Amino acid sequence: MRLFIALFFLALAGCAVPVPPARVSAADSIKIDSQSEWAEFADYLRGAIATVEARWFAILDESRVAPHTGTHVVVKFTINADGMVTILKTEGDAGTQGIFACTSALAAGPLGAKWTDAMIAKLSRQQTMTFTFFYE
Helix, strand and coil in the chain, % to nearest 5? 35, 30, 40
Q: What is the pLDDT of residue 4?
A: 58
Q: What is the strand order of the sheet 85-92 is part of?
A: 16-18, 3-10, 126-135, 71-80, 85-92
Number of domains in the chain: 1
Contact 51, 32 (CB under 8 A): no
Domain that holds residue 59: 3-135
Tens of pLDDT, residue by residue over 31-68, are: 334 346 788 898 898 899 899 989 998 999 998 878 89
Distance CA 77, CA 28 (A): 24
Q: Which amino acid is at 66?
A: A
pLDDT in tens, the chain (136 residues): 555 565 544 433 333 333 333 333 333 323 334 346 788 898 898 899 899 989 998 999 998 878 898 898 989 999 999 999 999 999 999 999 999 999 999 999 999 999 999 999 999 999 988 888 888 8
Q: Residue 56 CB: number of other CB atoms within 10 A?
A: 21
Distance CA 58, CA 62 (A): 6
